[in-house]
Amino acid sequence: MGVLVALYAILIFPGLAFLSTFGLVAEYVDRKLYARFQNRMGPPWFQPFADFVKLLGKETIIPAEANATVFKVLPAVAMAAVVTAMFYIPVWDNRSLLGFEGDLIVVIYLLTIPTLTFFLAGWASTSLYAAMGAVRSLTQLFAYEVPLYMALLAPALLARTWSLQTMARWYTEHPAWMLANLLGFLVAIVALQGKLEKVPFDIPEAETEIVGGTFTEYSGRLLAVFRMAIDMEMVVGAALLAAVFLPFGLGLHPVLVFVLFLAKVLFLVALAALLRALFARLRIEQMVDFCWRILMPAALLQLLLTVVLSGVAP
């Protein structure tokens, strides 16, 4: 791959430019649907973009007590990790940009990094609310991460590969086997709410309890980058779920596959908005309890099912 092509991939498609635009679109869809579920008008289509630009223009304040370097670098780290994860997910056909055997694990790892930066950001802020948020996001990480991994590994086990594109190829050949992962899909959707820190799992940034949580001390450009990284994480998380659990129509014309990809991601975003509108925020211990007592056995059941089925799978 030439340098120019690589730069194009990193900066434009499917890298920064595409991801940030799609992230803003996804945020708009999320906010608009959430508003309509609540009987509200909702924002106009350019609102997420306007918010982003407005934040960019605001003053950036770094707490005197905080470690300035860490404080400034973390938003960029979060964003970089999310963008990198995107290179391993098939977008326009059943191949991804940098796929290799085992990239599923890499994507999962890269998607954990934003959560770690949230923790570090809260910790580095040296504010009480931010520290509470940081501890909560780490506690939450230990609760949703395992069920999420188990759920994601089940389809891979069935396809006998750790590579997202080999999986995509396998499911293109045997589309009906997609249905075997339905339970895991549900588990993953719920766990993704935890990863994206959205209701009912928005505990680390519970506004009425700990003000802004992890991001209490963040402002201006740094907050804008963090928020953009979260929007991108929403897209990449949904894209990962779409690639793993909804791998249909990948053999079509690349443009169609791309449109289908957008539709799948937006469908998952809409599903997340619905969950967000339906529930109240749980307490952290209720959340951990839920993840280990209900989500985890469900994920284990899916794994068991997969192991049994893989005996008869082609």
Partner 1 sequence: MANVTIPVGPQHPALKEPECFKVTLDGEKIVGVEIRLGYNHRGIEKACEERTIVQSQYILERVCGICSHSHSTCFLMAVEEAGKIEVPRRALWIRTLIGELERIHSHLLWLGVAGHELGFDTLLMYTWRDRELVMDLLALISGNRVNYNMNVLGGARRDITDAHRAEIRKALPVFRERTAYYARVAQEESTLIARLSGVGRLTKEEAIFYNANGPTARGSGVDRDTRRDDPYLAFPELEFEVVLDDHSDVYGRTLVRIGELMQTYDLIEQIIDGLPEGPIGPARAIRRVAAGEAVSRYEAPRGEDIHYVCTNGTDKVERVKVRAPTLGNLPAVVRMLEGGFLADVPIVVAAIDPCFSCTDRGIRVARSQGQDVWDADALRAYAIEFYRKRGLDLTRVKAPGR
With CB under 8 A as the contact rule, the residue among 153, 210, 222, 225 that binds partner 1 is: 210
Looking at beta carbons only, is 262 or 288 nearer to partner 1? 288
209 binds partner 1 (CB under 8 A): yes
195-216: b (≥16 Cβ within 10 Å) or e: bbbbbbbbbbbbeeebbbbbbb
> Contacts with partner 1: how many residues (CB under 8 A)?
29
240 binds partner 1 (CB under 8 A): no
Question: Restricting to residues 267-296, which ones interact with partner 1 according to CB under 8 A?
Answer: 277-286
With CB under 8 A as the contact rule, the residue among 128, 304, 307, 308 that binds partner 1 is: 128
234 binds partner 1 (CB under 8 A): no
Looking at beta carbons only, is 111 or 273 nearer to partner 1? 273
User: x/- contact string, 90-119, with partner 1 (CB under 8 A)?
Assistant: ------------------------------
- Closest approach of Cβ 85 to partner 1, in Å? 28
Looking at beta carbons only, is 37 or 149 nearer to partner 1? 37
- Closest approach of Cβ 136 to partner 1, in Å? 8
64 binds partner 1 (CB under 8 A): no
Question: Restricting to residues 35-54, which ones interact with partner 1 according to CB under 8 A?
Answer: 37-40
Mark the segment that binds partner 1 (CB under 8 A) among 131-139, 156-164, 174-182, 184-192: 131-139
- Closest approach of Cβ 123 to partner 1, in Å? 12
User: Hey, CA dihedral for 67, 115, 28, 291, is it positive or negative?
Assistant: negative
With CB under 8 A as the contact rule, the residue among 148, 153, 159, 206 that binds partner 1 is: 206
Contact residues for 59 (Cβ-Cβ < 8 A; gap 6+): 219, 220
142 binds partner 1 (CB under 8 A): no
Q: Residues interacting with partner 1, by CB under 8 A?
A: 37-40, 128-129, 131-132, 135, 199-200, 202-203, 206-211, 277-286
